[in-house]
Amino acid sequence: MQNSFDITILTVNYNTSHFIKLMIYSFCVLTKRKWKMIICDNGSKESDFAKLKEIISSHKNIELITRQQKNEQPSIAHGKAMDLLISKVDTPYFLLMDADCVFLRKFWDDDIIDQMQKDNLTLIGTPSVFNSYKPIDFPEVYATMFDTQKYKELGSPSLCPDEVWANSNDKNNIEARDTGWLVRRECIKKGHNYYVFDAIYTKHNYIKSKNFSGIYCLEFFMRATDEIICSHFGRGSSQGAWKFADKKTFLPKAFLKRNQLNNWIKKSKKIIAKQAALKKPKDLIVIT
């Protein structure tokens, strides 16, 4: 791994260029270590693909590859795109990012890599909160950092869901084998260490978010600390869609989703700009 980059950031685009634009802005102003990015377009509309190419045109450290879905179940298509991206990694670390997730803390990469080295972690990242098919003790791939060498020691397991499980109409009665299940199985089998961030889902009425009040999203924190590290919007795919179907409001679902999305992007930009202006990141205060 003799190159000038420390981290390869990997993300799949499927009509999400507006999210990726925000993500790239965050990485450009908040990342301390040298990074490059590979984006796999998974068969987006021509208009979104054109926007994506325009967004990355001025970034020499961002590569765009393409893949055409073949009537695959969505989670299978996404998993195969992630596997393709991982096969191109040649840096000590790689970060898997959902397009609708963004880092919000200055030098987030130092926080994560320092923790990985301290605790000998193979991966660290965001947990699933409301998907019953994913274990909450294992990182979901909204935003998860991998140690590349340790991942290879696992046998470079696929991120794809099990195809039989993914295409089943009776998922509740068979073993859950969603995205990343093979990675978790190999970590447990071979004794590799991992952990997840703490998470808050802001829609819960008893949670008073100091970052995204009034916006439905997930907030993530390094374990037991008080400073937000990243946020996941959840664009409404699969089980994420239910968050916009709030029966307490008369507003149409499409309007509510568009309003929430725009507000999440605006608020994220404000947080990122404020963090970028800091001379150094705030100390992480452990909550006791």
Kindly report, residue by residue over 123-157, the tens digit of the pLDDT: 999 988 766 667 778 888 889 999 999 999 999 99
Lowest mean pLDDT among 53-57, 183-187, 244-248: 244-248
Q: What percent of the chain has pLDDT over 90?
A: 65
Measure Cα distances from 169 to 112, 164, 165 in Å.
38, 10, 9
Confidence of residue 239 (pLDDT cuts 50, 70, 90): very low
pLDDT (tens digit, 9 = 90+) per residue, 53-100?
Answer: 999 999 999 999 999 887 888 889 999 999 999 999 999 999 999 999
Mean pLDDT of 179-193: 95
Q: Give CA–CA dist 71/65, Å, rounded.
A: 19
| pLDDT score recorded for residue 20 | 97
Q: What is the pTM of this model?
A: 0.92
Lowest-confidence pick of 49-58, 95-104, 278-287: 278-287
Strand residues in 92-225 grouped as ranges (E)? 93-97, 101-103, 121-127, 139-147, 193-196, 198-201, 218-221
- Beta-bridge partner residues of 60: none
Q: How confident is the model at residue 6 (pLDDT cuts 50, 70, 90)?
A: very high
Identity of residue 255: F
Token pair 């003790």: residue: 137
| Averaged pLDDT for residues 102-130 | 95
Angstrom distance (rounded) from CA 172 to CA 177: 11
The CATH number of the structural domain formed by 7-276 is 3.90.550.10
The pLDDT value given to residue 288: 59
The three-class DSSP label of residue 55 is helix
How far apart, in Å, are the Cα atoms of 122 and each of 2, 138, 190? 20, 12, 11
Q: State mean pLDDT over 186-192.
A: 97
Both tokens of 30, joined, read: 């908040």
**Which alpha helices (H) appear in the chain, and where do they start and end?**
17-30, 46-56, 74-86, 108-119, 148-153, 163-166, 181-190, 253-276
Residue 243 DSSP code = G
Of 147, 118, 111, nearest to 228 (Cα)? 111
- The sign of the CA dihedral 120, 159, 197, 263 is positive
Rounded to the nearest 10 degrees, the angle between the axes of helix 17-30 and helix 253-276 is: 10
Task: Provide, rounded to the nearest whole percent, the portion of the chain with pLDDT above 70.
Answer: 90
240 pLDDT higher than 50:
yes
Please choose, from the candidates 183, 178, 124, the residue with its C-alpha nearest in 3D space to the C-alpha of residue 153: 183
